A = this chain, B = another copy of it.
C-alpha cells in the first residue's frame, strides 16, 4: 500500500504548484484538534501524502525515519479524521485540522507537547 502504481492519481497540479517543499520534497504539517484547538503534533508530507490526506479523510504523512507513507493510527488505532487542510501564505507549511481518536503521541499523552514546557525567564 506504500507503492505509487502507474495510473495512481497525482495531487491536483494547481495545489502542487503552490507548494514550496524542502530539499527532501517535504513540507511540515501542523496537526490540530479541530474543536479544542490543541496542537497535537508536527509531521511531514510530500505531494502524495497531501493527496491521500485530502482524498481519504485520514491524515497521512511521510515518515522520515521509516521512509514510507504513514496513515496515522494504522498501527495504534488512533486515527485522525481530517476536518480541513490549509496551506500557509507562502506554501511551505500545511495546517491539518483533525478529530483525533485517543492520544496523538506515541508516548501516550494527548499531544506531543503535553508536560514538556520549558522554563521562561531571565536565563
List A residues at the B interface (Cβ < 8 Å). 9, 12, 15, 28, 30, 32, 36-39, 41-42, 51, 54-55, 57, 82, 84-90, 92-93, 95, 105-107, 109, 112-114, 116-123
Question: What CA separation (Å) do A89 and B95 show in the bound complex?
Answer: 19
Contact assessment for A36 and B37 in the assembled complex, using a CB-CB cutoff below 8 Å: yes
Chain B: CB-nearest residue to A9: B123
Contact assessment for B42 and A120 in the assembled complex, using a CB-CB cutoff below 8 Å: no
Question: What CA separation (Å) do A54 and B119 show in the bound complex?
Answer: 7
**Which residues in B have their C-beta under 8 angstroms from that of A57?**
120
Contact assessment for B39 and A38 in the assembled complex, using a CB-CB cutoff below 8 Å: no
Partner of A89, one of B9, B30, B55, B112: B112
**Which residues in B have their C-beta under 8 angstroms from that of A90?**
112
Question: What CA separation (Å) do A41 and B32 show in the bound complex?
Answer: 13
Question: What CA separation (Å) do A116 and B92 show in the bound complex?
Answer: 12
Contact assessment for B28 and A39 in the assembled complex, using a CB-CB cutoff below 8 Å: no
3 closest A-B pairs by beta carbon, nearest first, are A37-B37, A55-B123, A88-B112
Contact assessment for B30 and A42 in the assembled complex, using a CB-CB cutoff below 8 Å: yes
| Min distance, Cβ A48 to any Cβ of chain B, angstroms | 11
| Min distance, Cβ A40 to any Cβ of chain B, angstroms | 10
